[in-house]
């Protein structure tokens, strides 16, 4: 009788925020949503508060819905299967596939017992994926059918643990080693690893193997703007603390609030700030399931009506240039009133209300990160009182270092530093105060995997991580980003030239979709991508004639842009870029591909 009562009491434990905040730690860090900074605690604590709520689902696929209670049960079952398969603490298992409920379920199952997840970005080629699998020493993989063929060479060599992401079926040997294509993989028989019964023996096995805060949780291989993919080692504490400390700072999310997830969760920006944080608050995460093309995204926004969306600058910049800028610039009746601050803000606010309606009408937080936001676009969003907030961080910092608030904007600045994160500027310019951002805190990675030389170069003697970003801290402690140390160009007179600032001016010229500024022969050259179809339509030309006229137009852009730039930052030439620039998963241009310096070797660190 007493045993039954104790079991009933154990089941009834609810880890309320109040109870957790009353707990104390030896390191002085505060806990808000979890009892310890592990992935196991993330699930266990939020399930105690939200067991019957829907945790995860894919848009327009009702059968994919998973409740918080189901998430816990599936996580537990997967971890026991792994232990029974012989996996031990520190073993690596890769994840390759688009964002979906089963991706995250598998991640929690892997990491809860101290194994390490190796998220592989879906955009990686077969060669890149196989290199990561080899370098990380992965012993298994969870992969969807779409990307299976990329990893066939790995599966042939490591056939023992192959899991189909769509249904989390383990495909056993010898079947796994004989699969030749995605069709065979999709139809292969296997065992559902989420249905392992949790008997007393299984529970005991799990409890003896639970992950610790300092255990490695994710080994993430970045794809930066300068090439050279590196394995970033992030612990449970790095990731979970970074999410937990932010749960009540930037937006007040309530259980059941919906989140529309449109970014890859294999990237740490979306993973920490768009997944873990929201799960801690009992939100319902809805995965878009497809690339965020307008035909897919707009109906999803209307149906989901999200409270929060995490995105990259490119999305809002496209919306601004395609829908907002033509209204402001081409309507003469409106344009004449934009000179006055009061009327400009009034007009922007009307457009902002319509924009918020496009995003479902219930938006409380529109997070923008992963790359710098165009200053003109930000000015409009601030005038429009759109609930945007900019975050800054890197993969190496799990990721958040500083962030802004959706109702209090300081245009051109990120915002204040995350609590307990220390930032200092190395060798700040005496006139501008700009220096390289150095970071220390609970969110900073263990280091780069199997790369001692890079680790030595990436940390100062007193333990600060070198971000490679140039920044400025104002007297209120607000951080602003000025560029990259690796992309900064030294002028002929010793001036510091930040190409990102010049690109921002170019990108706000009519018909420009994107641009890149690079040094060449002592000068600056701009590669400019034009929306040829829109240009042809406006000029009443066919596409071929429009390309010829676009060459002349790009030359005019150079003249107009130079009028807005200081003498040492002016462009010596401009070229028409016909093909879209190749980008990283967070939509930053891969600059190293367009360097005119043939002897320039790819650099190492990159922001998330």
Show which of 180, 211, 242 is a domain's final residue: 211
pLDDT (tens digit, 9 = 90+) per residue, 76-113? 999 999 999 999 999 999 999 999 999 999 999 999 99
Check residue 339 and give its pLDDT.
Answer: 84
**Is a pLDDT exceeding 90 seen at residue 198?**
yes
Q: What does the pLDDT look like over 554-568, one tens digit per residue?
A: 999 999 999 998 888
Residue 316 CB coordination number (10 Å): 22
Whether 265 is in a domain gets the answer no
512 upstream amide cis, omega within 30 of 0: no
Domain boundary among the residues 162, 188, 211 is at 211
pLDDT at 426 over 60: yes
Q: pLDDT at residue 600 above 60? A: no
Tens-digit pLDDT profile for residues 305-315: 999 999 999 89
pLDDT of residue 559: 95
Token pair, residue 273, equals 């700030």
Number of domains in the chain: 2
The pTM score is 0.86
Q: CATH number of the domain that 25 lies in?
A: 3.40.50.12780
pLDDT at residue number 8: 46
Query: Across residues 480-502, what is the average pLDDT?
Result: 81
Please tell me the predicted confidence (pLDDT) of residue 9: 45
Q: What is the pLDDT of residue 371?
A: 83
Query: In angstroms, what CA-CA distances link 221 with 95, 105, 125, 179, 366?
Result: 12, 20, 13, 27, 26
- Asked whether residue 522 is assigned to any structural domain, the reply reads yes
**537 located within any domain:** yes
CA 318/CA 315 separation, integer angstroms: 5
- The stretch 205-213 carries a mean pLDDT of 97
| Predicted local distance difference test score (pLDDT) of residue 494 | 66
Residue 493: per-residue pLDDT: 65
- Domain membership of residue 605 (yes or no) is no
User: For 331-361, what is each residue's pLDDT tens digit?
Assistant: 888 888 888 989 999 999 999 999 999 999 9
In a domain, residue 296? The reply is no
**How confident is the model at residue 603, as a pLDDT?**
41
pLDDT in tens, 116-150: 999 999 988 899 899 999 999 999 999 999 999 99
Query: What pLDDT sits at residue 583?
Result: 86
Indicate whether 477 pLDDT > 90.
Answer: yes
**pLDDT over threshold 80, residue 52:** yes
SS3 (DSSP) at 498: coil
**Residue 151 resides in a domain:** yes
In a domain, 606, yes or no: no
With 60 as the cut, is the pLDDT of residue 524 above it? Answer: yes
Amino acid 55: pLDDT: 98
What pLDDT is stored for residue 446 in this prediction? Answer: 98
Which pLDDT score is estimated for 490?
A: 74
Strand (E) or helix (H) holding 546: helix 543-562
Q: Which domain holds residue 555?
A: 498-577
- Phi, psi (deg, nearest 5) at residue 541: -125, 160
Buried b (16+ CB within 10 A) or exposed e, 338-354: eeeeeebbebbeebbee
Here the CATH number for the domain that contains residue 523 is: 3.30.300.30
Report yes or no on 467 lying in a domain: no
Long-range contacts of 600-605 (CB under 8 A, 24+ apart): 602/226, 602/227, 602/228, 603/226, 603/227, 603/228, 603/468, 603/486, 604/226, 604/228, 604/230, 604/454, 604/457, 604/458, 605/224, 605/230, 605/394, 605/396, 605/458, 605/466, 605/467, 605/468, 605/486
């Amino acid at each position: 009788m007493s045993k039954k009562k104790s079991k009933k009491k154990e089941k009834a434990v609810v880890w309320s925020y109040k109870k957790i905040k009353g707990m104390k730690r030896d390191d002085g860090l505060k806990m808000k949503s979890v009892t310890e900074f592990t992935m196991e605690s993330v699930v266990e604590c939020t399930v105690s508060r939200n067991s019957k709520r829907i945790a995860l689902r894919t848009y327009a696929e009702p059968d994919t819905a998973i409740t918080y209670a189901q998430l816990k049960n599936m996580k537990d079952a997967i971890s026991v299967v792994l232990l029974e398969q012989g996996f031990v603490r520190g073993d690596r298992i890769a994840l390759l596939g688009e964002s979906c409920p089963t991706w995250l379920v598998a991640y929690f199952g892997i990491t809860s017992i101290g194994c390490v997840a190796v998220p592989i970005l879906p955009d990686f080629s077969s060669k890149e994926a196989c290199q990561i699998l080899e370098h990380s020493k992965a012993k298994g993989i969870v992969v969807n059918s779409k990307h299976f063929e990329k990893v066939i060479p790995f599966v042939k060599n490591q056939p023992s643990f192959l899991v189909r992401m769509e249904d989390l079926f383990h495909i056993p040997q010898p079947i796994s080693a004989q699969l030749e294509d995605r069709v065979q993989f999709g139809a292969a028989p296997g065992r559902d690893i989420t249905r392992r019964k949790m008997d007393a023996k299984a529970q005991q096995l799990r409890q003896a193997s639970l992950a610790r805060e300092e255990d490695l949780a994710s080994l993430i291989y970045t794809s930066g703007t300068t090439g050279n993919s590196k394995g970033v080692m992030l612990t449970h504490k790095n990731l979970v603390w970074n999410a937990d400390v932010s749960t009540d700072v930037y937006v007040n999310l309530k259980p059941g609030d919906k989140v529309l997830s449109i970014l890859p969760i294999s990237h740490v920006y979306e993973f920490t700030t768009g997944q873990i944080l929201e799960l801690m608050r009992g939100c319902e995460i809805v995965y878009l399931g497809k690339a965020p093309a307008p035909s897919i995204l707009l109906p999803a926004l209307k149906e989901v009506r999200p409270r929060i969306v995490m995105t990259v600058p490119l999305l809002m910049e496209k919306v601004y240039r395609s829908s907002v800028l033509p209204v402001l610039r081409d309507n003469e009746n409106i344009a004449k009133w934009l000179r006055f601050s009061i009327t400009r803000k009034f007009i922007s606010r009307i457009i902002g209300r319509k924009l918020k309606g496009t995003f479902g009408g219930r938006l409380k937080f529109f997070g923008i990160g992963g790359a710098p936001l165009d200053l003109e676009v930000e000015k409009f969003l601030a005038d429009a009182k759109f609930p945007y907030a900019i975050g800054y961080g890197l993969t190496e910092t799990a990721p958040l270092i500083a962030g802004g608030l959706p109702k209090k904007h300081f245009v051109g600045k990120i915002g204040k530093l995350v609590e307990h994160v220390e930032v200092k500027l190395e060798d700040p310019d005496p006139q501008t105060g700009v220096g390289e951002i150095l970071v220390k805190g609970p969110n900073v990675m263990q280091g780069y995997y199997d790369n001692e030389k890079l680790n030595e170069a990436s940390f100062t003697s007193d333990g600060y991580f070198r971000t490679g970003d140039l920044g400025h801290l104002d007297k209120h402690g607000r951080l602003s980003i000025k560029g990259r140390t690796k992309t900064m160009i030294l002028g002929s007179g010793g001036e510091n030239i930040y190409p990102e600032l010049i690109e921002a001016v170019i990108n706000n010229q009519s018909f420009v979709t994107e641009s890149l500024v690079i040094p060449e022969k002592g000068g600056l050259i701009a590669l400019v991508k034009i929306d040829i179809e829109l240009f042809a339509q406006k000029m009443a030309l066919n596409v071929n004639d429009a390309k010829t006229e676009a060459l002349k137009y790009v030359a005019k852009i150079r003249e107009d842009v130079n009028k807005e730039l200081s003498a040492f930052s002016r462009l010596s030439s401009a070229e028409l870029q016909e093909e879209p620039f190749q980008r990283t998963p967070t939509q930053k241009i891969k600059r190293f591909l367009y360097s005119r310096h043939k002897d320039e070797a790819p650099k190492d660190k990159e922001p998330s």
